[in-house]
Amino acid sequence: MTVSGMNKKSGNTITVFKGDGIGPEITDAVLSVLDAAGAGLTYEIFSVGEKEYEEHGALIPEEGFQSFERTGVLLKSPITTPVGKGFRSLNVMLRKKYDLYANIRPAKSNQAVKTPFPNVDLVIFRENTEDLYAGVEEMVDADTAHSIKIITRKCSERIVRDAFDYAVKQGRKKVTCIHKANIMKLSDGLFRDVFYEVAKDYPEIEADDKIVDNAAMQMVMNPEKFDVMVMENLYGDILSDLSSGLIGGLGLLPSSNIGNGYAMFEAVHGSAPDIAGKGIANPTAFLWSACMMLEYMGDTECAARIRRAVDEVLTEGTHITPDLGGTAGTKEYVDEIIKRLL
């Protein structure tokens, strides 16, 4: 599979999970923008999360899973992780169950958020299933712990190939492999070797590599020099948070988790219970996640129209939400976006 959405299963039907806190509000906002933009999608909408658990005993209803298995495309709003009930993260569960191996996080500077880095436009492809994150650990004796780093050709190749496919599709110029192969010669060496093997299939895209600690410094000093980046799980965990910091925090960050025939799109932020129900939540990160979804499904034109309208409203700055320093509610902000789409 590729990030182009070749395996999309069920026409223009998508599964939507309405979560907790601001989840329902930002879901309604995003669906209204998709409709106004003429995305032509049909929705199978499920309530998921804490409320669903209290009422029906499961965070996600069985019909919700079945729907995702039919449609292959899931737009998921944030859920509140129940505290103290021994829950595994729902996201970790979904990633495992559907082998959503590619975690893609774009970070782009925005007019609405002033930072020292106005020209960031990078995309991180993080391998989502192996590396130290597999959590294979053992106590060798009472005072010695081993944690085993697992890197396979199969998992390295599929994430690297997705990064290059994405670069081609999005008109990007360069893919950079991040690693520590100077020290971990076998595991990170394998990842880097696979990277350069795959790169041969994409002669039009520049391929280079950087050692992870140097990359961290370069990202802070010259973030505009990075384009598409691909890396193992742990480096991706750390550097994607670093990239969030460059553009002013998690508030405007979309993400996707992609596997073979399954793809889940969500904002990076949580359910924001402190502002739930007040009508002031910022739906932008979720809306940009929906744009990534449209691109995955092949409707780049519709995604581009939505992105343009959002950019205009953010740049103008007169109808933005309180988290960005404005006074508009979710509805006023979304109405302004919709006005520019009609």
List the catalytic residues.
133, 180, 213, 237
Name the residue number minimizing CB distance to ligand NAI. 270
Contacting residues toward Mg ion, per CB under 5 A: 237
Strand runs labelled E in 28-167: 42-47, 73-76, 102-108, 121-127, 136-141, 144-148
How far lies 79's CA from each of 18, 268, 288, in Å? 8, 11, 18
Within 40-79, which residues bind ligand NAI (CB under 6 A)? 78-79
CA distances from 24 to 74, 232, 310 (A): 15, 33, 20
Smallest distance from Mg ion to CB 134, Å: 16
**CA 92 → CA 134, 313, 324, distances in Å?**
11, 34, 30
Considering only residues 243 through 302, tell me which ones interact with ligand NAI, judged by CB under 6 A: 251, 266, 269-275, 281-282
Q: Which two tokens stand for residue 310?
A: 């959002």
Cα–Cα distance for residue pair 332/339, rounded to 1 Å:
10
Contacts with ligand NAI in 82-111 (CB under 6 A)?
Answer: 91
176 binds, among Mg ion, ligand NAI, none (CB under 5 to 8 A by kind): none
Helix (H) or strand (E) holding 17: strand 13-18
CB nearer to Mg ion: give 25 or 127: 127
Q: Which is nearer to ligand NAI, 67 or 271 (CB)?
A: 271
Is position 129 an interface residue for ligand NAI (rule: CB under 6 A)? no
Binding-site size, ligand NAI (CB under 6 A): 18
Distance of closest approach, residue 192 Cβ to Mg ion, in angstroms: 23
Q: Which is nearer to Mg ion, 87 or 196 (CB)?
A: 87
Contacts of 284 (CB under 8 A, 6+ apart): 251, 252, 310, 314
Please identify, using beta-carbon distances, which residue of 177 and 328 lies nearer to ligand NAI: 328
334 binds ligand NAI per the rule CB under 6 A: no
Give the integer Cα–Cα distance in Å for 77 and 265: 8
Q: 249, 101 in Cβ contact below 8 A?
A: no
Given Mg ion, ligand NAI, none, residue 266, with its beta carbon under 5 to 8 Å by kind, binds: ligand NAI
- Contacting positions for ligand NAI (CB under 6 A): 22, 78-81, 91, 251, 266, 269-275, 281-282, 323
